[in-house]
Amino acid sequence: MSIMDFQIDGLVAAPFTPMKDNGELNLSLIEPYVDYLVSQGVLNTFVCGSTGEGASLSMAERKMLAEKWVSAGKGKLTNVIVHVGGCSITDSQELARHAESIGAQAIASLPTCVFRPTTGKQVAEQLQIIGAAAPSLPLFYYHLPDMSKVNIMVEDLFDALETVKVPTFRGCKYTDYNMMDFGRCLVHSNGKYIMMYGRDEQGLCALVMGATSFVGSTFNYSGKVYNRMRAAYDNGDLEAARKEQNMSQHFLRILVQYGMDIGLNKYIMSMVSGMDFGPPRPPMQRRSEEELAKIKAKLQACGFFEAVK
Amino acid sequence: MSIMDFQIDGLVAAPFTPMKDNGELNLSLIEPYVDYLVSQGVLNTFVCGSTGEGASLSMAERKMLAEKWVSAGKGKLTNVIVHVGGCSITDSQELARHAESIGAQAIASLPTCVFRPTTGKQVAEQLQIIGAAAPSLPLFYYHLPDMSKVNIMVEDLFDALETVKVPTFRGCKYTDYNMMDFGRCLVHSNGKYIMMYGRDEQGLCALVMGATSFVGSTFNYSGKVYNRMRAAYDNGDLEAARKEQNMSQHFLRILVQYGMDIGLNKYIMSMVSGMDFGPPRPPMQRRSEEELAKIKAKLQACGFFEAVK
Amino acid sequence: MSIMDFQIDGLVAAPFTPMKDNGELNLSLIEPYVDYLVSQGVLNTFVCGSTGEGASLSMAERKMLAEKWVSAGKGKLTNVIVHVGGCSITDSQELARHAESIGAQAIASLPTCVFRPTTGKQVAEQLQIIGAAAPSLPLFYYHLPDMSKVNIMVEDLFDALETVKVPTFRGCKYTDYNMMDFGRCLVHSNGKYIMMYGRDEQGLCALVMGATSFVGSTFNYSGKVYNRMRAAYDNGDLEAARKEQNMSQHFLRILVQYGMDIGLNKYIMSMVSGMDFGPPRPPMQRRSEEELAKIKAKLQACGFFEAVK
Amino acid sequence: MSIMDFQIDGLVAAPFTPMKDNGELNLSLIEPYVDYLVSQGVLNTFVCGSTGEGASLSMAERKMLAEKWVSAGKGKLTNVIVHVGGCSITDSQELARHAESIGAQAIASLPTCVFRPTTGKQVAEQLQIIGAAAPSLPLFYYHLPDMSKVNIMVEDLFDALETVKVPTFRGCKYTDYNMMDFGRCLVHSNGKYIMMYGRDEQGLCALVMGATSFVGSTFNYSGKVYNRMRAAYDNGDLEAARKEQNMSQHFLRILVQYGMDIGLNKYIMSMVSGMDFGPPRPPMQRRSEEELAKIKAKLQACGFFEAVK
């Protein structure tokens, strides 16, 4: 299959990484996790990304985790995309090679952190190096400026790719708010590239701009909300679609008021799924039972638990 | 008419302020300017705001300009909203009183600059002081964090208004990218407040979230593009609506690549309208004929001049 | 006297603006205020700046205040420098003309706020316009990037002044932490320009780089601490100088922990001087008696009140 | 030796990492590099830090490099401090264990990147975890907010350490401009902790605040300039000390104008030392011969090459 044949539609969960109380990975949860996602109509995953605390894991852990997702997803998930970004581009190459060797469907990478590229051209040069390590895998740029502190316009990257050739480049996970840049990318090269939108709280805006694929953390436990939103949108019922987005904004507002981060989000996942995802790894913060009880009460009051059922 | 009876629908132009080569206001242009806006189906204006270089004008100039807009708009424009924000809340009170005395339909205010509020509650307290100076006029908060450096969530302001009473408060000009905050504000108090969206380049996203009014600078010369977008959206033809938004994103991308600011935008207005709006006031930069010629060529190539005709 | 003959040495207080409870200026306090400064060995003032809440005052208030300082300072103060910056360069020109007409010794200006210059050359162009309005007065650039959000290197401004001619330019009030830029400016043009340093909490660092003049808000009530620091430094007793700087850092740390802003600082001034400076103007916050009592106790514990006596 | 017995005085070079044209480490250069440092009176190194492109190296490379520095430095260098920070605290623990096993004198760590702590307490908790992996080694916090985007006050970390116990904590490499925070840390706990200052361009300011140790990248090739500065300062000749600091600011200004980063800095090192340090690793940029020739000419004109000889 050629790189450009890779397609993706609908929701892609950015899965949490289950951990034991002692901080070790709890890989035994991945299999039931796959089934849980499928039961919500979520058929793709983006693993070892920010939601998965990829940056907090060692190289060995990232490889084990990717392997487990690929094997557990076989026959159940459509795509497992492995995130390979980090501080060191040398490490990213190694993770890319590994992802190819285990049969992942695609890879993605943040720009290097600590030392950061500052232009679209520099990002393209990084992607060229990483992509070369996995020549058979579609490669996505992971745009997350709030965290990566790399504030390029992705359109500038797409322009740069016309001279800096990255044969495996397939598109972008766009986790930002600039819907003009996102819109421009969707029409760039006549829609040649795939734009997966990554801000769950305003996915409806991406839909109306023309998006058809979405990567997010809240799809892990509220995939049904977003799948209903998508179905309503596809049926031309914008009011119904907006109602689902409003629900998502309502519960996210509550989480934001309690200092939403991937640590808290992970606890919500445990609460909703009934599976124990364990604590986050530092620097993400553990939460007290007391705080979680308060959050639960607020989520109940807004109808969250009915909505995600 | 009570404050809550104030309604607004459709496009609100944030007009440029015509100036002579020596930097003085060119008020004689306002009357034909009104007609030019009306000819595009733009029936509301937001004057002395950022596009109007309000911050660069003296108090006397701001008053003259507001008066001219109110008188020239009589019988032609539905609403003239006068922006009264600046450094000094004392000055804002004076401008608010003045706007009321000349018969403006509403006022709006940025948070104070130089010394800036940092919470929704502090913004509410400022609005209380300003609103008290014009007790018969609907008051809007002007949210423009990129320029004001006041990065509150507007929902936090709305929450604060439940205790800090501002009887004339009517809503917000929301010029930012956070469509979750925007969406939350739209449903706050069951839609009690008016949310005018202010990022022309992604107005379609605000539409799908439920917005019905829009304030922008590019409506001055491309009101027809956005009115077509709105009409298509209202007819359920999202593809046609998206096509218009894509055109807006296309020409804005060109302008951004040439250092888009209100100075450049003003030249585009002169180019499209055929009226001479003169140079911007410092610190906004004058542009060379050479540079403008290049930009014109690029705009021509993308179909801009046909689109706005 | 030619512009380049203007000299200044030692401490320049950035005075607070006394206000009544109803928010009006309390000009009757200026005369005793002058005496209070002189009693601390503080012989220069920088009025209507950020400490003086200049941005919160109306044009009429700024003029009255400047006039009062010039008249009250006659025969007592060496220099009264009037800050003329704001949103509108037209207003700054008017304030510059006014400062010249009342006999101020010099003027200073922040870059325009709301619309901001972004390069040294643009700042130079602004200073050219402002300076032309007061051709007999030395003009200072007020560098305060934390508040102005204009993050140029002042050396870039000095370089730009070689082509953008500003005949009245005399130097800079440098209120930032970059001691390389500050040091470079001190040697620029063989020390042609005056560099007044504006971070009281690290004035000793400026001294060792070669500074001889300082503008600050804490000189209002702790001028003796800084004058002792200077004397010790001039005597080659660095340990004694450091001890004074450490005292200043100690009490500033306490104030920072309580949300130091000009509002709080004004209360400290009232506490120390025994004169009632009144509340700050919004958006600066009033403080409760309870909070002030806590702060007072902490200041007592660190020896602040003995140090400033 | 107990942790608190660890002392350090004078210059600590943050060494560049020599690489071959193919991007591999060139470890054979470390031995002559040690001699080159010693010849300048630089007797300590801080390896695998930002100057050493530590974040760009794989775990295996970081270990090899640290080992090489420890073995090459034996009998020649006083201290080799190994930087162990990165994305993953698990990796940092492994690097800390390794540093202890190879006989390094101390370790240091940036806060985790990608996921970042936001308070002094959170940083303390990270240091506790890392320190526990190398219980015999003094541990330093590496404060570099411009790069780490962790903008705490280090005094807040020191305060937090009174409850979050980190028995191996020994101080801080302070690479920032806030001389009040730096000064406060110097007097914290009566000077219990070591504060190594990290902004070469304003080391004189740190000296006057009481610093006695310094970590920097430009000490690699201009150690003599800074050692002369220190000697002059210790002799009470502040004018001579300032002259050396001014030279450092002069050449750094030139480098900054050419986009100073560790990539460029590495080339300067090759130019001055005559040893070939090779290219930087991406995302750091290679420089053209043409650009380097221009920079060389400017450095010549300012007397740089005589100063560092």
User: HEC states along chain D?
Assistant: CCHHHCCCCEEEECCCCCECCCCCECHHHHHHHHHHHHHCCCCEEEECCCCCCHHHCCHHHHHHHHHHHHHHHCCCCCEEEEECCCCCHHHHHHHHHHHHHHCCCEEEECCCCCCCCCCHHHHHHHHHHHHHCCCCCCEEEEECHHHHCCCCCHHHHHHHCCCCCCCCEEEEEECCCCHHHHHHHHHHHHHCCEEEECCHHHHHHHHHHCCCEEEECCHHHHHHHHHHHHHHHHCCCHHHHHHHHHHHHHHHHHHHHCCCCHHHHHHHHHHHHCCCCCCCCCCCCCCCHHHHHHHHHHHHHCCHHHHHC
pLDDT for C85 equals: 97
Please state the rounded mean pLDDT for residues A200-218: 98
pLDDT for C95 equals: 98
Please state the rounded mean pLDDT for residues B32-58: 98
pLDDT for D1 equals: 72
Least CA distance to C88: which residue of chain B? B56
Q: Which residues contact C232 (CB under 8 A, 6 or more apart)?
A: C238, C240, C241, C243, C244
Q: Within its chain, how far is the Cα of B271 from the centroid?
A: 20
Residues C286 and C263: their CA atoms lie apart, in Å, by: 7
**DSSP one-letter code for C100:** H
Residues B47 and B147: their CA atoms lie apart, in Å, by: 17
Percent of chain B predicted with pLDDT > 90 = 98
Q: For all residues of chain A together, what is the average pLDDT?
A: 97
The 3-state DSSP class for residue B250 equals: helix
The amino acid present at D281, given as its one-letter code, is R
Residue D245 at interface with chain C, using a CB cutoff of 8 Å: yes
Predicted model pTM: 0.97
Q: Which of C177, C201, C208 sits opposite D238 (nearest CB)?
A: C208
Chain C residues lying within 8 Å of B125, measured CB to CB: 282-283
Residue B113 at interface with chain C, using a CB cutoff of 8 Å: yes
C173 is an active site residue: yes
A window 221-240, beta carbon within 8 A of B: 236, 238
pLDDT band at C186 (very low <50, low <70, confident <90, very high): very high
- Sign, CA dihedral A203-A206-A207-A211, equals negative
A-B contacts (CB, under 8 Å): 72
Residue C191 at interface with chain D, using a CB cutoff of 8 Å: no
pLDDT for D34 equals: 98
pLDDT at C180 over 90: yes
C266 is an active site residue: no
C window 125-154, beta carbon within 8 A of D: none
Whole-angstrom Cα Rg for chain A: 18
Percent of chain D predicted with pLDDT > 90 = 98
Residues B201 and B247: their CA atoms lie apart, in Å, by: 9
pLDDT at A22 over 80: yes
pLDDT for C204 equals: 98
Structure ipTM: 0.96
pLDDT at C1 over 80: no
CB contact under 8 A, D208 and C210: no
pLDDT for C283 equals: 86
Chain A residues lying within 8 Å of B155, measured CB to CB: 253
Residue A243 at interface with chain B, using a CB cutoff of 8 Å: no
Please state the rounded mean pLDDT for residues D145-171: 98
Residues B206 and B210: their CA atoms lie apart, in Å, by: 6
Q: Which of A57, A112, A282 sits opposite D129 (nearest CB)?
A: A282
> Neighbouring chains of D at 3+ CB pairs within 8 Å?
A, C
A-D contacts (CB, under 8 Å): 106
pLDDT band at D215 (very low <50, low <70, confident <90, very high): very high
Mutate to test the interface with D, among A87, A98, A285 (most CBs of D within 10 A): A87
Chain A residues lying within 8 Å of B158, measured CB to CB: none
pLDDT at A149 over 90: yes
pLDDT at D276 over 90: yes
Catalytic: which of A142, A174, A197, A233?
A142
pLDDT band at D283 (very low <50, low <70, confident <90, very high): confident
Task: Tell me: is residue C215 an annotated ligand-binding position.
Answer: yes
pLDDT for A4 equals: 94
pLDDT for A283 equals: 86
Q: Which of B56, B114, B148 sits opposite C89 (nearest CB)?
A: B56
Q: How far is the alpha carbon of A151 from chain D, nearest alpha carbon, in Å?
A: 14
Q: How far is the alpha carbon of D167 from chain C, nearest alpha carbon, in Å?
A: 26
Chains D and B touch (3+ CB pairs under 8 A): no
Chain A residues lying within 8 Å of D117, measured CB to CB: 283
Chain D residues lying within 8 Å of C210, measured CB to CB: 242
Q: For all residues of chain D together, what is the average pLDDT?
A: 97
Q: How far is the alpha carbon of A236 from chain B, nearest alpha carbon, in Å?
A: 7
Percent of chain C predicted with pLDDT > 70 = 100
CB contact under 8 A, B112 and C57: no
pLDDT at B1 over 90: no
Residues B277 and B17: their CA atoms lie apart, in Å, by: 7
Residue B208 at interface with chain A, using a CB cutoff of 8 Å: yes
Q: Which residues contact B54 (CB under 8 A, 6 or more apart)?
A: B17, B47, B48, B62, B83, B85, B86
pLDDT for D81 equals: 98
Tokens 């490099």, residue located: D65
Quote helix, strand, coil % in chain B, to nearest 5.
Answer: 50, 10, 35
Q: Which residues contact D254 (CB under 8 A, 6 or more apart)?
A: D295, D298, D299, D302, D304
Please state the rounded mean pLDDT for residues A69-94: 97
Residue C178 at interface with chain D, using a CB cutoff of 8 Å: yes
Q: Which of A114, A125, A129 sits opposite D55 (nearest CB)?
A: A114
Please state the rounded mean pLDDT for residues D179-207: 97
What domains sit in chain D, N to C, each tagged with a CATH number?
A: 3-236 (3.20.20.70)
Higher pLDDT, residue A251 or C284: A251
CB contact under 8 A, A209 and B210: no
CB contact under 8 A, C113 and B87: yes
pLDDT for A64 equals: 98
pLDDT for B285 equals: 84
Least CA distance to D234: which residue of chain C? C238
pLDDT at B45 over 90: yes
Please state the rounded mean pLDDT for residues B259-274: 96
Q: How far is the alpha carbon of B91 from chain C, nearest alpha carbon, in Å?
A: 6
- Reported as type and span, the H/E element at residue A180 is helix A179-187
CB contact under 8 A, B253 and A184: yes
pLDDT digits (tens, 9 = 90+) for C258-309: 999 999 999 999 999 999 999 999 888 889 999 999 999 999 999 999 999 9
pLDDT at B283 over 90: no
pLDDT digits (tens, 9 = 90+) for B164-204: 999 999 999 999 999 999 999 999 989 999 999 999 999 99
Residues B199 and B163: their CA atoms lie apart, in Å, by: 30
Mutate to test the interface with A, among B154, B178, B180, B251 (most CBs of A within 10 A): B180
Residues B263 and C125: their CA atoms lie apart, in Å, by: 16
Q: How far is the alpha carbon of D36 from chain A, nearest alpha carbon, in Å?
A: 27
pLDDT for A134 equals: 98
Q: Which residues contact A290 (CB under 8 A, 6 or more apart)?
A: none
